[in-house]
């Protein structure tokens, strides 16, 4: 499955929308291809993204919006399958990770997932009183074969940040193997945390 389709499915859970890497430069943000079933112009990327963000807020409800557990639980349920936490875990903790038993590796992956999704929810402004403004950024390939898709996000009173999702084509399809913000990779932060002998999870704001 192409990264475009992966991110559209993630959008349906209210997380985010980026774009199709093969599209021409003027693809962003006005995607106006006709839908073959309705003969209507498909919604552009920003409309889809806004829909996803509002959907998440409606789903959690005002009483749960400030509760990280409800937001993170939804993200884990709907989006975790598009991340390869095995690759992330090896980048963070090898050679230690590869020498552990199955249960220990699974537990370590879950800890990475929890910390990453908690920080993504924060970076996306899901706990903010107002939704962020978002603009897709051009796709690019890295020398190691990673495909990077991202966007610029403006949160009220916080300025903007550039968040990128790093895809790698695996036998099971495209999967997200890292996330970065303003040039700082999540796996590098986790690796420094692990190398320092820290067994607890990083505190909120670790991707700032």
Query: Is residue 134 situated within a structural domain?
Result: yes
pLDDT at 38: 43
Q: How far apart are CA 76 and CA 74, in angstroms?
A: 5
The answer as to whether 121 is a domain residue is: yes
Residue 125 has pLDDT above 50, yes or no: yes
Q: Looking at per-residue confidence, does 146 or 10 come out higher?
A: 146
Q: What is the mean pLDDT of residues 186-194?
A: 91
Other Cβ atoms less than 10 A from the Cβ of 177: the count is 20
pLDDT of residue 72: 61
Residue 206 lies in a domain: no
**Tokens, residue 155:** 């949160």
Confidence bin at 76 (pLDDT 50/70/90): low
Burial class (CB in 10 A: 0-12, 13-18, 19+), 157: exposed
Residue 118 lies in a domain: yes
Per-residue pLDDT tens over the stretch 7-37: 444 544 434 433 333 333 333 333 334 444 4
Residue 10: count of CB within 10 angstroms of its CB: 22
Say which residue, 57 or 73, is predicted with more confidence: 73
pLDDT of 60 strictly over 60: no
Cα 64-123-116 angle, rounded to 5 deg: 85
> What's the chain's length in residues?
208
What is residue 20's predicted lDDT score, i.e. its pLDDT?
Answer: 34
Complete DSSP assignment for 42-111 = PPPHHHHHHHHHHHHHHHH-TTTTT-HHHHHHHHHHHHGGGB-HHHHHHHHHTTTGGGS-HHHHHHHHHH
Give per-residue pLDDT as tens, 78-123.
677 788 999 999 999 999 999 999 999 999 998 898 888 888 877 8
Q: What is the CATH number of the domain that holds 120?
A: 3.10.450.710
pLDDT of residue 17: 37
Split into its structural domains, the chain has a count of 1
151 assigned to some structural domain: yes
What domain range is 36 assigned to?
A: 3-195
Q: Tell me if 205 is assigned to some domain.
A: no
């Amino acid at each position: 499955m192409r990264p475009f389709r992966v991110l559209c499915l993630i959008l349906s859970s209210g997380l985010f929308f980026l774009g199709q890497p093969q599209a021409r430069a003027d693809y962003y943000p006005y995607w106006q291809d006709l839908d073959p079933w309705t003969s209507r112009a498909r919604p552009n990327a920003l409309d889809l993204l806004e829909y996803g963000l509002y959907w998440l807020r409606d789903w959690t409800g005002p009483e749960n919006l400030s509760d990280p557990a409800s937001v993170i639980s939804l993200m884990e349920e709907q989006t975790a399958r598009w991340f390869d936490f095995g690759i992330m875990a090896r980048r963070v903790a090898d050679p230690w990770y590869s020498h552990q038993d199955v249960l220990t590796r699974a537990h370590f992956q879950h800890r990475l997932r929890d910390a990453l999704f908690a920080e993504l929810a924060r970076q996306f402004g899901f706990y903010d009183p107002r939704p962020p403004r978002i603009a897709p950024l051009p796709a690019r390939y890295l020398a190691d074969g990673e495909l990077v898709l991202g966007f610029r996000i403006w949160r009220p009173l916080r300025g903007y940040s550039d968040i990128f999702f790093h895809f790698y084509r695996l036998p099971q399809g495209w999967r997200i193997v890292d996330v970065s913000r303003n040039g700082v990779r999540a796996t590098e932060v986790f690796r420094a945390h692990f190398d320092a002998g820290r067994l607890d999870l990083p505190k909120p704001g670790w991707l700032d």
